[in-house]
Amino acid sequence: MARKFPLNRLRNFGIVAHVDAGKTTTSERVLFYTGMSHKIGEVHDGATVTDWMEQERERGITITAAAISCNWSKSEVVDRKDESQMYTFNIIDTPGHIDFTAEVKRSMRVLDGAVVVFDSVAGVEPQSETNWGYADEAGVPRICFINKMDRLGADFEKSYKSIQDRLSKKAVRIQLPWGAEENFFGVVDLIKMKAYVFEGEMGMVVKEVEIPAELQADAEKYRAELIERVVEHDDTLMEAFLEGNLPSDEDLKATLRKAVIANQIFPVMTGSALKNIGVQLVLDAVVDYLPAPTDLPPVRGINPKDDSEVFRSASDEEPFCALAFKLQTDPFVGQLTFFRVYSGVVKAGSYIFNASTGEKERLGRIVRLQADKRTEVEEVYAGEIAAGVGLKEVMTSHTLCDEDKPIILESIIFPEPVVAMRVEPKTKNDQEKMSTALKKLSDEDPTFKVTSDAETMETIIAGMGELHLEILVDRMKREFGVEANVGAPQVAYRETIQREAEAEYKYIKQSGGRGQYGHVKIKIRPIEARDPEEKLPKNVTREDHFEFINNIKGGVIPQEFIPAVMKGAKEAMARGFVAGYKMEDVAVELFDGSYHDVDSSEIAFKLAAIHAFKEAAARAGAVLLEPVMKVEIRTPEQFMGDINGNISSKRGQVESMGDLGDKKVITAKVPLSEMFGYTNTLRSMTQGRASMMMEFDHYDVVPPNVAIEIKKARGVKSDEADAE
Write phi, then psi, for 12 (nearest 5 degrees).
Answer: -105, 115
Find out whether 136 is annotated in a ligand binding site.
no
Contacts of 44 (CB under 8 A, 6+ apart): 60
Q: By C-alpha distance, which of 118, 149, 120 is closest to 132?
A: 118
Find out whether 358 is annotated in a ligand binding site.
no
Find out whether 576 is annotated in a ligand binding site.
no
DSSP letter at 512 equals S
CB contact at 8 A, 275 and 187: no
Q: By C-alpha distance, which of 665, 698, 696 is closest to 162?
A: 665
Three-state DSSP state, 24: helix
Find out whether 18 is annotated in a ligand binding site.
yes
Angle at 9 between CA 6 and CA 11, to 5 degrees: 130
Find out whether 23 is annotated in a ligand binding site.
yes
CA pair distance 252, 227, nearest whole angstrom: 7
CA 309 to chain centre: 26
For the chain, what's the residue count?
724
CA separation, residue 448 to residues 245, 420, 469, 518 (Å): 58, 10, 8, 38
Contacts of 638 (CB under 8 A, 6+ apart): none
CA pair distance 515, 500, nearest whole angstrom: 33
CA pair distance 671, 702, nearest whole angstrom: 9
Burial class (CB within 10 angstroms; exposed 0-12, middle 13-18, buried 19+) of 576:
buried
Find out whether 95 is annotated in a ligand binding site.
yes
Find out whether 96 is annotated in a ligand binding site.
yes
CA separation, residue 202 to residues 115, 121, 156, 196, 277 (Å): 21, 23, 23, 15, 9
CA 155 to chain centre: 29
Q: By C-alpha distance, which of 580, 617, 621, 420 is closest to 494?
A: 580
Find out whether 21 is annotated in a ligand binding site.
yes
Find out whether 148 is annotated in a ligand binding site.
yes
Find out whether 712 is annotated in a ligand binding site.
no
- Total Cβ atoms within 10 A of residue 224: 12
Burial class (CB within 10 angstroms; exposed 0-12, middle 13-18, buried 19+) of 645:
exposed
Find out whether 19 is annotated in a ligand binding site.
yes
Find out whether 703 is annotated in a ligand binding site.
no
Find out whether 150 is annotated in a ligand binding site.
yes
CB contact at 8 A, 159 and 118: yes
Burial class (CB within 10 angstroms; exposed 0-12, middle 13-18, buried 19+) of 690:
buried
Q: Provide the CB-side half-sphere exposure for 169 (13 A, CA).
A: 1
Find out whether 94 is annotated in a ligand binding site.
yes
Q: Provide the CB-side half-sphere exposure for 1 (13 A, CA).
A: 10
Find out whether 17 is annotated in a ligand binding site.
yes
Residues placed in the known binding site for GTP: 17-24, 93-97, 147-150
Residues placed in the known binding site: 17-24, 93-97, 147-150
